[in-house]
Chains A and B, each alone.
Chain A
Amino acid sequence: MSSKRDYGIPGTPIFDGHMAQKGYALNAMCYSFNSADNRAAFKADEDAYCRRYALNDEQRAAVASRNVLQLIAAGGNIYYLAKFAGIFGLDVQDVGAQQTGMTKDAFKQMLLQAGR
């Protein structure tokens, strides 16, 4: 597998060939969540669903943790992860708050501030 590169943009994952290769199975599973039947199947038996997509141990643990930074480190791409987050009714502000360690209200306040 190609090696991990540092692109020098702090706090900003770059989903390159290395990450796309590393995260293929995880992203394939999340891509399947475009279908309501697949979302229901995941909810009914998460373990079986993850096995079907051959997630590795790091990816399985990241899915169990619901931790977005951990999912990204395991190769997850944010656009496919958004479909995973959708299963739990989380929006991109929940996801942003979690990654920045803020409350959702504080995260929203930061966004408002950026417009001033």
Chain B
Amino acid sequence: MATIVGSVMTSHVPSIGNAIAKNRESDPYWKPFFDGYPPVRQWLGKVKPDVAVVFYQDHGLNFFLDKMPTFAVGAAADYRNADEGWGIPTVKPFRGHPDLSWHLIESLVADEFDITMCQQMLVDHALTLPMALFWPGGGDWPVRIVPITMNHVQHPLPSPRRSYALGESVGRALASWKEDVRVLVVGTGGLSHQLDGERAGFINKPFDLMCLDALVDDPRKLTRYSALDIVREAGAQGTELMAWIAARAALPGRVAKVHSHYHVPISNTAGAVLALSNDGPLARAA
């Protein structure tokens, strides 16, 4: 069976891509954000995952409104990034893990999650920037990926409760995978932010800090909110929190906080990262 080493959840704001491309990590504006990542990289270097299962949202690169899956699972041999229209540099392609993808798909459908299956999938900044933050330098990616997208473009959105259940189901599927691979579960987006409307620029630090605590010790607490509650509390685009909830729910055992970091603002967003090790019965020593 697979070993889930833990989870890293992180913001994925597009301007991070420009900051990396222009080597601005040490600029006064960016340093307080990028300072959150070295401890995460050190931990990743220790636990050495082979595969990253990534919960994220597509922002109009792969999916349009003609067909908008609530949840979609990639089953491709490789995944490319592409031009998103506003000029952040593209990154190297990612290797997929089709066998594991199909195993997850079969397990999820058997578990009554009627997901969409994708043998071709462009991956946008919500997947590429977290990978660039975890493994900087622009070299070959050290992990293969299984992308899982969650609709947050068009309401109705999946609820926090459903997102949690999806993550749990992915965690169970990983536990029954035949191969001994080391899996990192990633959740991307957030935290609070709003891009549209007269409330643009809305950030809710107390709510974010509550979420960062709850995700460690009491993640089910977040399932009491509706999707619209999350819009109200975390901003219209703060619903990306759903990917963090799913990633957390995939960790089956005892969880310990490796590192967390919170900084406001990056662009219009509360920037955050949270790394959790999975010390439960499924985890083995690194």
On A, residues with C-beta under 8 Å from B are: 7, 9-17, 20, 24, 27-28, 30-31, 33-36, 39, 68-69, 72, 77-83, 85-87, 91-93, 95-96, 99-100, 107-108, 110-112, 114-115
Min Cβ gap A102→B in Å is 8
Return A23 CB to nearest CB of chain B, in Å: 8
Is B203's CB under 8 angstroms from A12's CB? no
Residues from chain B with Cβ under 8 Å of A9 in the complex: 199, 228, 231-232
The SS class assigned to the B binding surface is loop
Collect the chain B residues with CB atoms within 8 Å of residue A13's CB: 196-197, 236
Among A85, A112, A114: residue with most chain B CB under 10 A: A114
Chain B residues contacting A77 (CB-CB under 8 Å) are 60, 65, 153-154
Residue of B59, B85, B197, B203 ringed by the most chain A CB atoms within 10 A: B85
Give Cα distance in the complex from A96 to B194, angstroms. 9
Nearest neighbor of B155 in chain A, beta-carbon distance: A16
Given known A-B contacts A34-B85, A86-B85, A100-B200, A92 and B268 have beta carbons under 8 A apart: yes
Instruction: For B202, list chain A residues within 8 Å (CB).
Output: 11, 114
Residue numbers of B with Cβ under 8 A of A are 15, 59-61, 64-65, 82-87, 153-156, 194-203, 205, 228, 231-232, 235-237, 263-265, 267-268, 270
- Give, as a whole number of angstroms, the nearest-CB distance from B258 to chain A: 23
Please give me the 4 A-B residue pairs with the lowest Cβ-Cβ distance, nearest first.
A115-B264, A86-B86, A11-B199, A83-B85
Supply 14 A–B pairs (Cβ within 8 Å), ascending by A.
A12-B235, A34-B60, A34-B83, A68-B196, A69-B197, A78-B196, A79-B59, A82-B85, A83-B85, A86-B87, A99-B197, A110-B201, A112-B265, A115-B265
Within the assembled complex, what's the spacing in Å between the Cα atoms of A95 and B201? 10
Determine if A82 and B86 form an interchain contact, defined as CB atoms under 8 angstroms apart.
yes
A30–B196 Cα gap in the complex (Å)?
16
Q: Could you tell me if A95 and B200 are in contact, using CB atoms closer than 8 angstroms?
A: yes
**Bound complex: CA A86 to CA B231 (Å):** 25
Given contacts A31-B60, A34-B84, A96-B200, 6 further A-B contacts (CB under 8 A): A11-B197, A11-B199, A14-B228, A16-B155, A28-B64, A111-B264
Q: Which of B64, B84, B228, B264 contacts A7 (CB 8 A)?
A: B228
B213 to chain A minimum Cβ distance, whole angstroms, is 18
Which residue of chain B has its CB nearest to the CB of A9? B232
Chain A's closest residue to B263 (CB) is A115
* Residues A14 and B155 in contact in the complex (CB < 8 Å), given A7-B228, A86-B86: yes
Q: In whole Å, how far is A104's beta carbon from the nearest beta carbon of chain B?
A: 11
A110 to B268, CA, bound (A): 10
Whether B198 contacts A96 by the Cβ 8 Å rule is no
- Closest chain B residue to A28, Cβ basis: B64
The answer to whether B195 touches A111, judged by C-beta atoms less than 8 angstroms apart, is no
Contact B85 A33, beta carbon cutoff 8 Å: yes
The interface residues of chain B lying within 8 Å CB-to-CB of A10 are 198-199
Separation of A77 and B153 alpha carbons in the complex (Å): 8
Flag if B231 contacts A14 (CB, 8 Å).
yes
